[in-house]
Structure formats: C-alpha cells, structure tokens
Amino acid sequence: MHRNLKRGAATVAMLAGFPLPALAHTGQPLAPHDLWAAWSFEPVVVVALIISAWLYTQGVARLWSKGVGVGIRRREAAAFAGGWLALLIALVSPLHSLGGVLFSAHMAQHELLIAVSAPLLVLGRPLIPFLWALPQNWRREAGEWSKNAGVARTWQLLTLPSVAFSLHAIALWTWHLPGPYQSTLHSELMHTLQHSSFLFSALLFWWTIFKVRGSHLGYGSAVFYLFATGMQTGALGALLTFAPSLWYPAYAATTGPWGLTPLEDQQLGGLIMWIPGSVPYLLAGLAVFARWLGESDRRSARHSATMAAARITALLVVILGISACDRASGDDRYQLAAADPDRGRAAIKRYGCGACHDIPGVVGAHGMVGPPLGTVSQRVYIAGVLPNEPDNLVRWIENPQGVDPKTAMPNMGVTTRDARDIASYLYTLR
C-alpha cells in the first residue's frame, strides 16, 4: 500500500511539473479548425482528476477484494465514473477552450459541472473508497480530524439544506453578473475560482438532497429544494435568453467564425441553462417524489400491521394476566447480563467508532460515514439484515463482515466483552 502511495505521488509530481499547454483564454481566439487540438491540460486540474480517480479505484479495489459490491455497489462505482468523466469533458476537453469564445459553450460547461458531474459524484459515495485507499493509521488520523468540534460544526452548517441551497444560488447568480463573469475571461485565476465555487456548492447541494432521504420531512425538503433550484436556474437562463442587449462584451468579437452573432450566442447559452439545465433537477425531483410516495405507502402498511399486532398483544395480555408495566416498557429484552453501559461508552471511544458514526453521549463521536446510532433501540433490524436483538447486535459489533460480507464496516477486532458493553450502552440511547 505504501509502495503504491509513493508511485502515485511520483506520478502526480511529474505531471504537476510537466509544461502542459494552456489553450483556454490565451493567445488568439479559438477558430473552428483548431477545435479538436484545443485540449486544456492545466496541471492543477489534471493532478486533481488523477488523485481522485486513483483514490477511488484503490479504495474500491480494497473493498471488493472480499467480493464485488462490498461497501460500494456497482451502480455507485458507475455513478462516480460517470461524474468523473463529465468533469474530464468539462475541464480538459476542447469544450473548456471553446467557452472562451462562445458563451453558449461556457454554459454547457457549467451545466456539466453542476447538474451532471456533481450529483453523479455524490451518488458514488466517494468518502468511503477515499478512506479505504489510505493506510490504516492515516484513516485513524482522518477520523480524529473529522471529530474535531470545529470541523464537525462547520460541516453540519454547510450541509443544512437551506445553507447549501443559498450558497449554490449565490455562486450561480454572482458569477453570471457582467463584472465577475467578464473577469473570468481575462484571468485564469478568476476562471478557476468560478469553476471551483460552482462545483463545491453543487456538491454540497446534491449531498443535502441525497442525505435528507429517509424521513417523511426529508423527502418533502428534497423535493422543495430541487424545485426551487430548478426555478432559479431557469429564471437566470430565461433572463439571458430574452435580454435585448449583450451582457458580456468580451464575446462581441469572438462568435463570428462560429456562425453566430454575439446576441444569438447569448440566447443559445440562456436556453442551455434554462431547458437542458433544468432537466436533472426535474428528474431528481420526480425520483425523490416517487420514493416519498412509496415510503408513505410502506409506512401506512407497517402502521396497519403494527396496530393489528398491538390489538392481538393487548388481548393476550388480558387473557394471560401478564403485568402491563413490565411488558409495556419493552426495555427488559435489551438487557445484557454482566454488561456495563459505562464501560461500553469508553470502549466506543477506544475503538474509534465515532470516526464513522454520530453517537450521542460520546465525546467527539460525530462521524458522517456511517448511520447515526442514537436510535438503535428503536430499529427493527440491525444493518438491515438481523432482527434487533442483543445477541445479534453483539454479533454484528464483533464481526460485521461475517454477518454481511458486502458491508463497508470494517472488523475492528472488538472483544466479546467489549461488544456486550457497547451494545448495552447503545440500547440506553432513546
């Protein structure tokens, strides 16, 4: 593993120092006959693409060494590959250079970044492979860093749906104002800042959309923010389409060789943002809404089944004369003999469980990789595969991959005693 890291670092260093041609926004305006030679190999972009691809493939290879689909599903790996390819097209292909002479090409590039690449990258769940690509001690350090109170609070703030939506909208509208946009056509630094803010804010936005799935309110929030983002993106596109004058004078002398007047080019760019650019938000909104309806149906069915079971249980209690107090609490079935919740809390911290999970009552346990563990006692299943019973939870903590070979949760070498103590503590959380 360390040998692979050294090789990867050497390759990156070589590429970073190699004098690659920078064709976008430099020299003479790009002409049609030069288009297919106008690839842009900016070292920072190329190095970032190589590092991200290498980390993801190394992490997936390590996870899949125990079986294809372990930790990362095939469709998630395919989504990341699609998002990475969209980044390559947007930032390295001739489309990047073409954006310096055609506003419409620049808009196509932006839509690839925010509406195609960003959601696919998020669906690829890159944090898990990135962590698994690192040596074990580096993973621990990354986990400790993520537990830092300042880092955790900042991340929680940035991934609030309202904050992510606002940051994305601000980036989109600010960089399309004539002054800031013109600056990107004359300064590669400003151009890089523009693309970085687009991609970063879009990744945050799509992260919140996919993160809030799983609750009735979460689905409703996702649909609302998808609709609102599609509306404000479409509104900006419509303004550009119907504007009677040119917003960006820098394109006044560059569109002629491409058979477009500057105003026609601006109108085409507005249409790209308005119609094709809104399609991903519409499709995502419909998909989330369909899942919302399906979840409502499943909850209704579960509620009906629960009510029927409750009636039968009540009848049995009356007939058999069982003490209602003891049965109603439901806590006795979660008691583990000779287990100590206080020891369990200490064991959770010692094994570093908080690097991946949010665990109430454990200092620094604010991990974002795995699911939160504050409601374990209320779940029907453990990890979706085992009935929620003390022995099953202990078994899962001791050897998760022995229970589900495709889980991304590693075997941490937890002893049986520690596993019982940890399970005892988790069952105290309500």
Regions of the chain short of the pLDDT cut 70: 1-28, 212-217, 295-334, 355, 367-369, 380, 384, 406, 430
Q: Is residue 300 part of a domain?
A: no
Q: Is residue 230 part of a domain?
A: yes
Per-residue confidence (pLDDT) for residue 357, from 0 to 100: 80
Looking at residue 283, its amino acid is L
Per-residue confidence (pLDDT) for residue 242, from 0 to 100: 94
Of residues 195, 34, 40, 22, the one with CA closest to residue 109? 195
Asked if 101 and 221 sit in the same domain, the reply is: yes
Q: Is residue 409 part of a domain?
A: yes
Asked if 244 and 375 sit in the same domain, the reply is: no
Taking the C-alpha atoms of residue 375 and residue 426, their distance in angstroms, rounded to an integer, is 8
Per-residue confidence (pLDDT) for residue 300, from 0 to 100: 59
Asked if 360 and 282 sit in the same domain, the reply is: no
Asked if 378 and 263 sit in the same domain, the reply is: no
User: What 8-state DSSP symbol labels residue 430?
Assistant: -
Q: Is residue 311 part of a domain?
A: no
Asked if 253 and 361 sit in the same domain, the reply is: no
Of residues 186, 144, 165, the one with CA closest to residue 232? 165
Asked if 236 and 368 sit in the same domain, the reply is: no
Asked if 147 and 62 sit in the same domain, the reply is: yes
In three-state secondary structure terms, 424 is: helix
What CATH number does the domain containing 377 carry?
Answer: 2.60.40.420
Q: Is residue 406 part of a domain?
A: yes
User: What 8-state DSSP symbol labels residue 157?
Assistant: H
Residue where one domain finishes, among candidates 293, 320, 346? 293
Q: Is residue 314 part of a domain?
A: no
Residue where one domain finishes, among candidates 238, 261, 293? 293
Per-residue confidence (pLDDT) for residue 313, from 0 to 100: 56
Asked if 289 and 394 sit in the same domain, the reply is: no
Q: In whole angstroms, how far apart are CA 84 and each of 51, 54, 89, 205?
A: 11, 11, 9, 18
Q: Is residue 343 part of a domain?
A: yes
Asked if 205 and 272 sit in the same domain, the reply is: yes
In three-state secondary structure terms, 358 is: strand
CA atoms lying within 13 Å on the CB side of residue 124: 27
**What is the domain extent for residue 99?**
2-293
Q: Is residue 319 part of a domain?
A: no
Taking the C-alpha atoms of residue 273 and residue 280, their distance in angstroms, rounded to an integer, is 11
User: Residue 71: which residues within 8 A CB-CB, separation 6 or more?
Assistant: 60, 63, 64, 128, 129, 132, 406, 407, 408
Q: In whole angstroms, how far apart are CA 322 and each of 310, 325, 329?
A: 15, 9, 13
Per-residue confidence (pLDDT) for residue 244, from 0 to 100: 92
Residue where one domain finishes, among candidates 272, 293, 314? 293
Taking the C-alpha atoms of residue 102 and residue 104, their distance in angstroms, rounded to an integer, is 5
User: Residue 291: which residues within 8 A CB-CB, separation 6 or more?
Assistant: 213, 219
Q: Are 339 and 423 in contact (CB under 8 A)?
A: yes
Per-residue confidence (pLDDT) for residue 400, from 0 to 100: 80
Number of domains comprising the chain = 2
Per-residue confidence (pLDDT) for residue 57, from 0 to 100: 95
Asked if 144 and 286 sit in the same domain, the reply is: yes
Residue 386: enclosing H or E segment and its boundaries?
A: strand 386-387
Taking the C-alpha atoms of residue 256 and residue 8, their distance in angstroms, rounded to an integer, is 44
Query: Could you give the angle at the alpha carbon of 211 between the alpha carbons of 209 and 217, nearest 5°?
Result: 75
Asked if 289 and 372 sit in the same domain, the reply is: no
Asked if 166 and 104 sit in the same domain, the reply is: yes
User: Residue 292: which residues within 8 A CB-CB, separation 6 or more?
Assistant: 216, 219, 220, 223
